[in-house]
């Protein structure tokens, strides 16, 4: 009897620590309906285009000579101190700039940067109330000149920023910068499973541009609802849903990875089958 009581104590202590964590994760999650990716009209990119955008996210995980049979000319640029890698691809007259997601926990730099979630003022604005995730802001600052150099040397007028997870966070900051710095350009943003990155005042500045922003969320991807809104962070843009959202599963890690990859492969195969004669 005494032995059983002693064995039960660690479990009770474990539950005391686990319960607040479960409550916090659940409070991070929100359930806006959004638009199902299969119900989008012609004003949105096609499944084939979304598949291409996500493929670019996979191409930026590390520097490569080529990416499969796409024929893309891969123009990588990076900032080693913050372990930031980005990719520029010009296709169909559009400059695509894609930002790599976090490599944590394998990369200690990214692990440290992820936890720097205390908001910091956007360094490229004069208004100190416009803030973003401090760690992701440092990543964008590291490649700021490279981003602007590519925009200034680009002869076209359309720019598409893309990112998965933390890469989407950097893309959001880049969008805020480019949207205001180059009003003559048609800049757009597409993200996959991206956590909140802008604070309330900064997000409010992009409300007028919500039709240029698409944020795609797979199933119950928990990372897309972090950091908690209680810390002042806000989402902005058109929410597009994909995958199942069972009521009994308030959050999921596997929906974040490899969920997007698997679901896009399935959707793309269906798209090709329905498009073939």
* pTM score over 0.95: no
pLDDT in tens, 167-224: 999 999 999 999 999 999 999 999 999 999 999 999 999 999 999 999 999 999 999 9
Domain membership of residue 98 (yes or no) is: yes
Domain membership of residue 169 (yes or no) is: yes
Name the residue range of residue 82's domain. 44-275
Determine what percent of the chain is predicted with pLDDT higher than 70: 88
pLDDT in tens, 223-271: 999 998 898 999 999 999 999 888 888 889 999 999 999 999 999 999 8
Say how far apart CA 27 and CA 178 lie, in whole Å.
33
Contacts of residue 225, Cβ cutoff 8 Å, sequence gap at least 6: 28, 29, 30, 195, 196, 251
Domain membership of residue 218 (yes or no) is: yes
CATH number reported for the structural domain that contains residue 109 in this entry: 3.40.50.1820
Domain membership of residue 3 (yes or no) is: no
Domain membership of residue 101 (yes or no) is: yes
Q: What's the domain count of the chain?
A: 1
Domain membership of residue 37 (yes or no) is: no
């Amino acid at each position: 009897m005494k032995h059983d009581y002693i064995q039960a104590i660690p479990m009770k202590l474990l539950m005391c620590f686990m319960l607040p964590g479960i409550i916090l994760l659940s409070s991070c999650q929100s359930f806006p309906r959004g638009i199902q990716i299969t119900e989008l009209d012609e004003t949105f990119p096609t499944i084939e285009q979304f598949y291409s955008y996500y493929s670019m996210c996979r191409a930026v995980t590390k520097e490569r000579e080529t990416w499969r049979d796409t024929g893309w000319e891969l123009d990588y640029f990076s900032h080693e101190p913050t372990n930031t890698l980005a990719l520029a691809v010009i296709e169909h007259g559009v400059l695509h700039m894609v930002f790599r997601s976090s490599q944590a926990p394998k990369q200690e730099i990214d692990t440290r940067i992820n936890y720097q979630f205390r908001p910091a003022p956007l360094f490229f604005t004069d208004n100190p109330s416009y803030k973003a995730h401090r760690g992701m802001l440092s990543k964008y600052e590291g490649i700021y000149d490279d981003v602007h150099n590519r925009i200034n040397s680009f002869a076209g007028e359309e720019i598409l920023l893309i990112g998965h997870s933390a890469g989407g966070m950097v893309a959001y900051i880049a969008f805020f910068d480019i949207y205001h710095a180059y009003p003559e350009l048609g800049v757009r943003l597409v993200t996959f499973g991206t956590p909140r990155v802008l604070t309330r005042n900064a997000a409010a500045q992009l409300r007028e541009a919500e039709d240029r922003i698409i944020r795609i969320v797979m199933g119950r991807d928990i990372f897309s609802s972090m950091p908690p809104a209680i810390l002042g962070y806000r989402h902005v843009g058109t929410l597009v849903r994909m995958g199942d959202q069972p009521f009994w599963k308030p959050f999921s890690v596997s929906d974040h990875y490899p969920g997007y990859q698997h679901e896009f492969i399935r959707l793309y195969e269906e798209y090709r089958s329905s498009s073939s004669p």
